[in-house]
Structure 1
Amino acid sequence: MPRFLHTADWQIGRQYNQFAVDDGVAIAEARLGAVVTLARLATENHVDAVFVAGDVFDTQTVADKTILRLFNAMRGYTGPWILIPGNHDAALAESVWTRAERLNAVPANVRLSLVPEVIAYESAGFAVLTAPLTQRHTYNDLTEWFDTADTAPGLVRVGLGHGAVQGILAAEIDSANPIAPDRASTARLDYLGLGDWHGLKRVDARTWYSGTPEAERFRGNEPGYVLLVEVDGLGIEPRVTPLQTGRFEWAQWEHAVGVPSDADELIDRLAGVQDNHVLELVVRGQADLNTLGRLNGALTSAEARARSLSVDLSALRLIPSDADISALRADGYLGDVISTLRDLQSGTDAAVATHALGILTSILADRQASEVNV
């Protein structure tokens, strides 16, 4: 009986302008790398086909070079690929798909399903019912026709669609491109493979979102997988196994610092940062000069290892200790200003005084460091 890979939401051509140029290029390149991995996994697992449930491309306007590179990345698997358009790459009269065809970029083993159809692979024992998007947003369930579609007796029925299963995803997503939650049952499908939700998600035993094979945002919804689906017989629940494909791990950290041991905890965590990490870090609280210096050193080291590390220290206040102030050797007028600010820290203007003291201490520390380096 058939086995296949189910994937979706490749978003090839997506740009990451929020990152430094070299980081953004590497993260975008990883999306093509994920396709290479998919082709390898398809070959290693001897699947009968690979189903791609929409949003292969991020936009209709990707460069011709990007189209050619995508289909080149798929060449590692020579069996059938069945691709449908999603909302990002809908099958418009003029689209990324029509350009791909004009470029002769599509290999013979790749089927672009640009209209609803039944694609039968009788020798492999299955038929695919497709529901491609022909415009970015629809308000009718494009999978409804599956219910009345005929397939040859004995063939496993597989549905392929792109949209939001009603009542399952977040309310703000359950709008355009709706899909009935019981479609697998009403259409007598052995498996319904969906795209649009970028994380791995089981709707029911026969209905799954594969998610995107390479993470592209900081939402923790289990991206970075492809689904290996094995159907052992008609009417038997499919066996679905997630296989990891993602290169980069995206994460957002928030860390509060109140005492030096809090900083030690963060420093230890930063020591584990690897070259596949894409991190956003927000640090809040307060630290003295020594603690801040150690933290900055750890951040510099982690930034050199990570693919991308974005740090926000705007909510971390510098609160100099007695030892810090003594080490700065501020005398005369500056000494008087520091003394006044420290007195004000216990009054109604404590917040302003603390902020000013932190700024002054930081300037003095930078000046002292510059004098040492000279």
Structure 2
Amino acid sequence: MRFVHTADWQLGMTRHFLDEGSQPRFDEARLDAVRAIGVLAAEQDCEFVVVCGDVFESNYIDRKVVGHALEAMAAIPAVDFYLLPGNHDPLDAASVFRSEGFTGRRPHNVKVLENSEPIAVGDGLELVGAPWISKHPSTDLVNAACSALKPSGAMRVVVGHGQLDSRSPDSLNPSLIVRRRLEERIASGDIHYVALGDRHSTTDEGDSGRIWYAGAPEPTDYDEVDPGHVLVVDLEADSVAVARHRVGRWHFERRQWSVTTDGDLDEIEAWLDSLDDKKRQIVKLGLEGQISLAQKVRLDAMLAHHAGLMGAFEVWERRTDLVVVPDEVDIETLDLSGFAHDALRELRDQAAAKDEPSAVAAQDAVALMHRLHQTDGVDR
């Protein structure tokens, strides 16, 4: 039996750093990923697709998001999509899966795993869902679903969502999925593959090769490790083969730079120039060091240029500590005299004293003098 394992579509997700031009592209990319998953499933002769939780960003998303999602899945009618409610879209009283926008337009090939009753999905294979019915479950839903199983001659794919205990620092969380129990059930032949969602990085868990996180098909944050994949699973009772397929197109890049010389600025510019498909790049930069006024002018122009090309551009506030101190060339270029010349030198010394409370104010004052001088030069 061959099928697609995916999770964490989070359709309807918004990001504060995306502007009004980038957010629609981000939204459409997530729908494009759904379409690509359907096409991949058809091309690979897969029997079905399992979506292991967080299909939608929440239960309160725009009705249009639901309609577009259903339309994307309906476009491949020969492929069935099995959707599992997760922590973002639990099967509670306000569930999007029970809304009129979903139930009234749901195509025949889209099914919701509403409970843990085994569902036959082909000759000799069953799906066992572990849906979230609230945002704060008080038990290990996946192993609870397995515990309720009766003996069967069918192969079983367990569809779950949540953190494995082997990855969580919070050992007291009652909803953690106990990996050891799953491995015991795999070893005994009670279950044959565990398809998980929640972790956005594609991950093979344990030693059996039968417990996987698919990861998010489009990235959502900087901390994810190689997201943008779905899994094509070839499953037999005595063997399994899992292949990654990339469908994601957006990228999150976060870099820390130490800046003191023109050569450092050259490296930053070369790296920014090297990024492909910039309108789908989300970049966060942290900058540390000490630079001159002329270097700061160059840096600002460089960052402004590339920010206009990117999907989003952020300054990594917690990792940014850039001191601007005019050097002798800056002072000579400004061509000040008398009181203004003496004041600039005094401000330069204060700006260089990083640990002094007045340093930031002095840096701002130096930058203001530079801007006023440039404006005065233009006016003349």
TM-score by shorter chain over 0.5? yes
In the alignment, the residues of structure 2 paired with residue 190 and residue 349 of structure 1 have an alpha-carbon distance, to the nearest angstrom, of 60
In the alignment, the residues of structure 2 paired with residue 361 and residue 352 of structure 1 have an alpha-carbon distance, to the nearest angstrom, of 16
Matched, 1:37 2:42: no
| Structural mapping, 1:70-81, within 5 Å | 70-78=69-77, 79-81=79-81
Deviation (angstroms), 1:148: 5.1
In the alignment, the residues of structure 1 paired with residue 222 and residue 16 of structure 2 have an alpha-carbon distance, to the nearest angstrom, of 15
Matched, 1:371 2:373: no
In the alignment, the residues of structure 2 paired with residue 338 and residue 193 of structure 1 have an alpha-carbon distance, to the nearest angstrom, of 64
Deviation (angstroms), 1:327: 0.7
Residues 199, 222 of structure 1: 8 Å contact kept: yes
Residues 162, 177 of structure 1: 8 Å contact kept: no
Long gaps (5+) in structure 2: none
Q: C-alpha offsets along residues 218-253 of structure 1, whole Å, 9 cap, x if unaligned?
A: 21333211111112x3122x1111111212111221
Q: In the alignment, which residue of structure 1 is the partner of 2:178? A: 180
Deviation (angstroms), 1:356: 5.6
Matched, 1:91 2:91: yes
Question: Following superposition, which runs of at least 4 residues in structure 1 exceed 3 angstroms of deviation?
Answer: 100-103, 339-346, 348-361, 371-374
Long gaps (5+) in structure 1: none
Q: In the alignment, which residue of structure 2 is the partner of 1:61? A: 60
Deviation (angstroms), 1:309: 0.8
Match of 1:315, as an amino acid?
A: D
Change (3 A) 1:53 1:353: closer
Q: In the alignment, which residue of structure 1 is the partner of 2:298? A: 294
Q: C-alpha offsets along residues 33-87 of structure 1, whole Å, 9 cap, x if unaligned?
A: 2212211211221211100111111111112222111111212322111111111
Q: In the alignment, which residue of structure 2 is the partner of 1:164? A: 163
Name which of structure 1's ranges 205-214 and 291-300 shifts more when overlaid on structure 2. 291-300
Change (3 A) 1:224 1:335: same
Number of residue pairs aligned between Structure 1 and Structure 2:
367
Match of 2:30, as an amino acid?
A: R
In the alignment, the residues of structure 2 paired with residue 86 and residue 333 of structure 1 have an alpha-carbon distance, to the nearest angstrom, of 67
Q: In the alignment, which residue of structure 2 is the partner of 1:319? A: 325
In the alignment, the residues of structure 1 paired with residue 350 and residue 198 of structure 2 have an alpha-carbon distance, to the nearest angstrom, of 56
Deviation (angstroms), 1:147: 4.3
User: Percent of pairs identical after alignment?
Assistant: 26
Q: In the alignment, which residue of structure 2 is the partner of 1:361? A: 366
Match of 1:177, as an amino acid?
A: S
Change (3 A) 1:121 1:320: same
Q: In the alignment, which residue of structure 1 is the partner of 2:341? A: 335
In the alignment, the residues of structure 2 paired with residue 344 and residue 130 of structure 1 have an alpha-carbon distance, to the nearest angstrom, of 64
Deviation (angstroms), 1:165: 1.7
In the alignment, the residues of structure 2 paired with residue 59 and residue 21 of structure 1 have an alpha-carbon distance, to the nearest angstrom, of 21
Deviation (angstroms), 1:5: 0.5
Deviation (angstroms), 1:96: 0.8
| Structural mapping, 1:186-201, within 5 Å | 186=185, 188-201=190-203
Deviation (angstroms), 1:264: 1.9
Change (3 A) 1:164 1:220: closer
Change (3 A) 1:356 1:47: same
Q: Secondary structure at the match of 2:173?
A: coil
Match of 1:310, as an amino acid?
A: E
Change (3 A) 1:121 1:336: closer
Match of 1:183, as an amino acid?
A: L
Matched, 1:209 2:213: yes
Query: Please, which of 254, 257, 260 is the counterpart of residue 258 of structure 1?
Result: 260
Match of 1:171, as an amino acid?
A: P
Deviation (angstroms), 1:159: 0.9
In the alignment, the residues of structure 1 paired with residue 35 and residue 164 of structure 2 have an alpha-carbon distance, to the nearest angstrom, of 29
Query: Normalized against structure 1, the TM-score is what?
Result: 0.89
Name which of structure 1's ranges 44-53 and 75-84 shifts more when overlaid on structure 2. 75-84
Name which of structure 1's ranges 254-263 and 110-119 shifts more when overlaid on structure 2. 254-263
Q: C-alpha offsets along residues 145-204 of structure 1, whole Å, 9 cap, x if unaligned?
A: 424524653x332111112222x2131487253222131541622211011222211113
Change (3 A) 1:340 1:165: closer
Q: Over the residues paired in the alignment, what is the CA RMSD in angstroms?
A: 2.5
In the alignment, the residues of structure 2 paired with residue 191 and residue 343 of structure 1 have an alpha-carbon distance, to the nearest angstrom, of 65
Q: Secondary structure at the match of 2:255?
A: strand
Deviation (angstroms), 1:4: 0.6
Residues 37, 245 of structure 1: 8 Å contact kept: yes
In the alignment, the residues of structure 2 paired with residue 59 and residue 291 of structure 1 have an alpha-carbon distance, to the nearest angstrom, of 45
In the alignment, the residues of structure 2 paired with residue 98 and residue 342 of structure 1 have an alpha-carbon distance, to the nearest angstrom, of 64
Q: Secondary structure at the match of 2:99?
A: helix
Q: In the alignment, which residue of structure 1 is the partner of 2:279? A: 275
Change (3 A) 1:135 1:368: same
Deviation (angstroms), 1:288: 0.9
Residues 81, 111 of structure 1: 8 Å contact kept: yes
Deviation (angstroms), 1:208: 0.5
Change (3 A) 1:176 1:64: farther
In the alignment, the residues of structure 1 paired with residue 351 and residue 55 of structure 2 have an alpha-carbon distance, to the nearest angstrom, of 58
Name which of structure 1's ranges 174-183 and 319-328 shifts more when overlaid on structure 2. 174-183
Query: Normalized against structure 2, the TM-score is what?
Result: 0.88
